[in-house]
Amino acid sequence: MLRLFHTHKVRKTQSLEGEWQFQPINGDTAVPYEGEYQYVMPVPGCWEMHPRFSTYQGKGVFRKTMVIEKQTSLRFNFQGVSHTADVYFNGEKIAHHYNAYTPFTAIVKDVPQGKHELVVEVDNSFSEASALHVPNDYYTYGGIIRPVSVEYVPELFIERIAFTPSRPSGDWQADITVYVRNIGMEPKTVTLQGQLANEAFTTAGEQVEAGQVKAITVSRTFTDINAWSNTDPHLYLLDVQLYAEGYADPLDDLTERVGFRTVTTLNNRIQVNGEDVVLKGFNRHEDHPIVGASFPYQLMVHDIELMLEAGANAVRTSHYPNDERFLDLCDERGIFVWEENHARGLSLEQMQNPNFERQCEDCNREMVESHFNHPSIIIWAILNECASDTPEGRVMYRKQLEQIRSMDRSRPLSFASHHREKELCFDLADIVSFNLYPLWYGDEDPGELSDQARKWADELGGLGKPMIMSEFGGDGYYGLRDPNRVKGTEERQADIIERNLDAYTKRPFISGMFIWQFCDCRVTEGTGWLLTRAGTQNSKGIVDRYRRPKLAYETVKQYFRQGEGK
């Protein structure tokens, strides 16, 4: 299950989830691997959940055989392989992909009827080749960690749809761009038939050249629309069918799920549908001791319920794009999402890795293209706590923000900074965001520090822009209680959270607050203060790794639910 709704009525799709054969291999093994497979692994899954591989870092191969009933072209859809994948079909390489947290596809043309073999070589090791997955304050698991499917595609098919709502006057409008790919040998004329809300549309014939993708845009006005908002998250199915010359029936189709809403930033505030909103939520790592980074639907729902119960209305996908089913849930439940690209705390030297720019560019493109239609996503962000305090870093921040803006002008952009008065990039973003940790890494008063942060923002290019406290919190080891409320106890963590929330909820210039963090998470073991955390985990969760609430959970509830009369 890749999404929480059916995406095709015409195109045949088949899940490749389930048992795959598995074999760890070393760097010298010839590829594609043709040796013996000793293990079986669940897909999706992280190999760390297998008792023999709980700390394994390196390479492993996964194999699955599949039977194709009649000749067709195939499109494999991988939602996430951690962190590098080389995909082989019957021994031939069909894809190479880097980054655990973004999806990719691979096409094989004219596959004959019969039995075929899919092999995925996976690598989760750290090296110069990997600029974004580095030893860090979270864990890079190994495996095919998100769902996989195969689609039977005709010679022309719909690759994706981008839906952009707007409301220039009374009625809602939308631009719907449908990307049609021609994998055949001839140019073909196509028409599209679509249905959304109470509107049907048909496009004029458009020629799609062989081997090309054509973007076909339809702009429409819609009446009687129920807008999407966090309190009434109204969703619509957008069905598009593709007709091509020479075929009587629709050749292909795609259903997307969309919501009508606008996001703007004006006068220091963020507006959804023209109304000011204050984001109250959590930073969340996709991490759980039973499943690693490979979340089943039930555990996603559990996290969502815990966040909603605490009174949150927002989540930040720190520090990478999330599994799309989680975003589907946020659309359904009305949770605002700050989605960010994949990078945490990279120094200028790490940003100067020769692969950094390309790997970020791919990540940005894959994130925006694949998650474009989620109404819940109201902010795109980049490069958490990287070198935005240096002129060289600034060039890269600018480039990446421009890249995202060129793909999507409908959402504001931000990045979370810990550089305080040394920050050089506030002018490049639409929202200024601070990771400050008063009362944990320093003893400053959260109120005074946030007043100071507003001044830094105003002086350093953020004048008139909304401001978010994107991270604050402190360690609280689950079950550690002490009447002296010393650092690391649940009591002290609750005190820190209370003083931060008390300050931020009283300040009208703060448009958002994201607690670090929702749940404790596994971290890389290594040396230096960051990688020697007790228990190999970041313990700043408001719930522990198993989602048992700490004392601070009740504190959060009091502040996030203020005014609800509960």
Tokens of 443: 């003893």
Of the two residues 298 and 527, which places its CB atom closer to ligand ADA in the complex? 527
Least distance between ligand ADA and beta carbon 294 (Å): 20
**What DSSP state is assigned to residue 427?**
G
Residue nearest to ligand ADA (CB): 137
Q: Does position 99 bind ligand ADA by CB under 6 A?
A: no
Using rule CB under 6 A, residue 287 touches ligand ADA: no
- Output 373 or 493, the one with its CB closest to ligand ADA: 493
Instruction: For the segment 193-232, give every residue that binds ligand ADA (CB under 6 A).
Output: none
Residue closer to ligand ADA (CB basis): 108 or 351: 351
Q: Record the tokens describing residue 487, joined without a space.
A: 């650092």
CB of 404 to ligand ADA, least distance (A): 20
Residue 520 found at the interface with ligand ADA (CB under 6 A)? no
Nearer to ligand ADA, 450 or 538 (CB): 538
Residue 481 Cβ vs ligand ADA, minimum distance, rounded to whole Å: 21
Cβ at position 435, least distance to ligand ADA in Å:
4
Identity of the residue, 134 or 407, whose beta carbon is nearer to ligand ADA in the bound complex: 134
Q: Are the C-beta atoms of 105 and 96 separated by less than 8 Å?
A: no
Which residues within the stretch 385-414 sit at the binding site for ligand ADA (CB under 6 A)?
385
Sign of the Cα pseudo-torsion (144, 145, 149, 153, in order)? negative
Smaller CB distance to ligand ADA: residue 227 or 436? 436
d(CA 221, CA 172): 6
Query: Total residues contacting ligand ADA (rule CB under 6 A)?
Result: 11
Q: Output 86 or 385, the one with its CB closest to ligand ADA.
A: 385
Q: Please state the closest distance from residue 539 (CB atom) to ligand ADA, in A.
A: 9
509 to each of 44, 323, 324, 421, how far by Cα in Å?
43, 32, 32, 18
What is the closest distance, in whole angstroms, from the C-beta atom of residue 505 to ligand ADA in the complex?
21
For ligand ADA, the closer CB: 203 or 435 = 435
Minimum Å distance from CB 251 to ligand ADA?
A: 46
Q: Shortest distance, CB of residue 284 to ligand ADA, whole angstroms?
A: 11
Contact 194, 217 (CB under 8 A): no
Cβ atoms 513, 472 nearer than 8 A: yes
Binding mask 480-519 for ligand ADA (x = CB under 6 A): ------------------------------------x---
Min dist. Cβ of residue 418 to ligand ADA (A): 6
CB nearer to ligand ADA: give 119 or 513: 513
In order of 72, 80, 286, 357, the CA distances from 290 in angstroms are 38, 18, 12, 34
CB 326 within 8 A of CB 286: yes
CA distance 212 to 380: 29
Closest CA to 174 of 145, 155, 147, 195: 195
Cα–Cα distance measured from residue 346 to residue 348, given in angstroms and rounded to the nearest whole number? 7
Whole-number Å distance between alpha carbons of 194 and 173: 15
- Are 207 and 189 spatial neighbours (Cβ–Cβ below 8 Å)? yes
Supply the DSSP string of 277-340, one letter for each residue: E-EEEEE----BTTTBT---HHHHHHHHHHHHHTT--EEE-TTSPPPHHHHHHHHHHT-EEEEE
Shorter beta-carbon distance to ligand ADA: residue 345 or 488 = 345
Q: Is 435 in the site for ligand ADA (CB under 6 A)?
A: yes
Q: Which DSSP state fits 428?
A: G
How far, CA to CA in Å, does 100 sit from each of 82, 153, 198, 323, 491? 4, 25, 39, 10, 36
Binding mask 31-50 for ligand ADA (x = CB under 6 A): --------------------
CA torsion sign for 201, 203, 209, 213 is negative
Q: Which of 79, 384, 417, 493 binds ligand ADA (CB under 6 A)?
A: 384
Please say which residue, 25 or 480, places its beta carbon nearer to ligand ADA: 480
Q: In the bound complex, what is the minimum distance in angstroms from residue 521's beta carbon to ligand ADA?
A: 9
Nearer to ligand ADA, 471 or 544 (CB): 471
DSSP string, 408-421: -SSS-EE-EE--GG
Q: What is the DSSP string of 136-147?
A: -SS----EE-S-
Among 293, 363, 284, 292, smallest CA distance to 330 is for: 284
563: left (phi over 0), alpha (psi -120 to 50) or beta: left
Q: What are phi and psi of 315, to 5 degrees?
A: -140, 145
Q: How far is the CB of 540 from ligand ADA (least distance, A)?
A: 5
Contact between 137 and ligand ADA (CB under 6 A)? yes
Site for ligand ADA in 448-487 (CB under 6 A): 471
- Please report, as residue ranges, which positions from 529 to 548 form the binding site for ligand ADA (by CB under 6 A): 538, 540
CB of 538 to ligand ADA, least distance (A): 5
Whose Cβ is closer to ligand ADA: residue 418's or residue 557's? Answer: 418
Q: What is the H or E stretch that residue 87 is in?
A: strand 84-89
| Nearest distance, CB of residue 317 and ligand ADA, angstroms | 12
Token readout for 49 is 């959940």
Give the x/- contact pattern for ligand ADA in 329-368, rule: CB under 6 A.
Answer: ---------------xx-----------------------
CB 353 to ligand ADA: min, Å = 19
- Residue (120 or 468) nearer to ligand ADA, CB: 468
Positions that interact with ligand ADA (CB under 6 A): 137, 344-345, 384-385, 418, 435, 471, 516, 538, 540
